[in-house]
Structure 1
Amino acid sequence: MSSNEDAGAKALFEKFGTYILPGRVSDPRRGIEEAKEAERIGLGAVWISERYASKEPAVLAGAVSEATSKIRIVGTMYATMRHPIVTASVANLMQAMSGDRFSLMFARAVPAYMQMLGAPGITFPRLADTISIVRRLWAGETVTYDGILGKFPHLKLTDRHEGPTPPIIFTAIGPKALAFAGEHCDGVLLHPFVSPTGVANSVKIVRDAAEKAGRDPASIRIYHNIIVAPDLPKDEEEAVVGGRAVTYFELPGFGDLIVEINGWDLNVLEKLRAHPQIAALNGKPADQAFTRQELVEVSRILPRSWLDEGAAVGTAAQCADQLMKFLDAGADEILLHGSAPRDMGPLATELKRSLHNRAALT
């Protein structure tokens, strides 16, 4: 490998990761091969979302840690679905199993989904207390707690891992969530279809909140989750990008926040939600009812500019050029989503080229 290639490869490992098992899956074992392929093509992280029955991050993260040697592993959890000591224990054990490669991400589920499960809502006070308890347990403290999460007389991790504690990441869209991440977390994951303009707006909110809280603004790592469709056939591209976009924009609250942070037209959402296929759901999330392919026709309501600005579509080279815009807007690391690692080899090559060229100009 030449020095030029080496510089590009190093930057790719530091700045790019990918989801494994994107969307609904029937064979979770495929995720192990996807993680190995992601490491092989030079990506630096694999992210695991939480979807009950098929994507349990505690199980998958353990499998991935044994199948790989250097790639970082991020496991996503809904904070109120587990007792705090279980959350702390899973992350503690994953650090030990993986050789300090694990990060813990807390996600905010759609409120209607948590109500459907009969689970407590994922509110900012509950998140703040969960983060505090987990960090104290990782530090070896004995925790006595009586508050919004419940009553815990005596919490302590025995035989805890003595290495570095896992970074805590929070997925955020709106200004309140972004400010929360700046105040309480080590990193923030921005939502798919946030445009470069939206990234710049989000970064400012996070860093301002960190500074106001007396933290080093630069210490908060900004991750951006971007749907990529490099060199895909047209029908597959429409499903990966358009079909998935519908599952985000149709959600009340979520879709509105994406549009607002980007400065787009909120009236488009009314048309999308009025489509008979979406209206018939009566509030049920579209991704629980339809596959991405089944939502392609609905996606044609969305302006093409939204997909072009908020995702990375086209040839591998075109996708790489678009992804550089998100780094320029302030993202520290990009999470590639939508396509599987087996489809990302040419994109990884183009990204190494683009990253080397960026470094040469600085």
Structure 2
Amino acid sequence: MLVHICCSVDSHFFLQKLQHDYPQEKLTGFFYDPNIHPYSEYQLRLLDVKRSCKMLGIELLEGEYDFENWVEAVRGLEREPEKGKRCEVCFDKRFEVSAKKALELGEKSFTTTLLVSPLKSQEQLNRSGEEFFKKHGVEFISFDYRADGGTQDQSRVTKEEQLYRQDYCGCIYGLTMQREQQERLMDEMFSPLSNQILPASIEERLELYIRRNELEDKNIPYKIIREKFLNYRQFSLKIISGKTEVIDAHALFYSTLPRKKAQGRVEFLHNNVGYFNREEILFVTLEHFNSECDLNYKNTKELIFNPPSFKKELKFRDLLRDSNYNLSPIIIVDEIPQTKLTIELDAKTYEDTREKLIDFLQNP
């Protein structure tokens, strides 16, 4: 039987149940989910599914990540709610490819781990499956593993196996409406041109789960925990000298301006730091930043497009301010300007949670 797989949270429990109920059935996993966006999220879910299938001894095949074709398929249905018409089109596309893959492999039946997701309509899934049975002759087998406490068992298995537990289905349109209802920043879609890994980003989680797999390969005990913290995202920064000259500048992590704009001058200099006369803003020369952080940037433009890790930025912030609660803008420039300046900084701090990996063999 071919088993279409959407994510490890659904697939691990679902495949365990199938192995128990149908011990003679050869199961082949098929990860085909072009709806997942961004691509880093797709990579993370695939990574966890590979680990899950390896643990269960199940062969896994990966389908094509044809996201652009998926977007075209659901065009006009962007504002449909969860379990609406967009979901039906999404199921149809994934089932179409899954049914063809089953035929290619000589399988006579297929199913999907979407059936176990409490966020999906089993009626919709079954209707799509029946249509493809008529069309392709590949039987869709429906299993209701949610019943009789199945959802609670699934949650237990997820926790025990320390699976990656995403908080959206993968669809950018579903996520947009979900974050609008929650009045939360959709920071999953933030991916800086600099490729800097941001805290609580998908890229940070991907690094964490890659590290988890490495620890497992070495039989090193670990634990994944969650922690609350103050997160930060910077949308834009612009420094204008005089009336028109734009200065290359980089604002360190946790730099904020309440009104997003300030005008004034650097009032005085001390130890390569310029003290602005508004909003507690500090200007730091690139030379000083390089020296204190053991870096070697040639100019600020290079820093903008290839910044250090946010941990290094925080370490430098602590050197200047000596406070874990400081949100003053700290701006790196080639030379500290002596002209009238307009500073436009759009950034946001907000409460968030993130995962943390504890390596039990690592020194504290």
Q: How would you bin the TM-score normalised by the shorter chain?
A: under 0.3
Structure 2 length as normaliser, TM-score? Answer: 0.26
- Name whichever structure is richer in helix by fraction: 1
- Name whichever structure is richer in strand by fraction: 2
Structure 1 length as normaliser, TM-score? Answer: 0.26
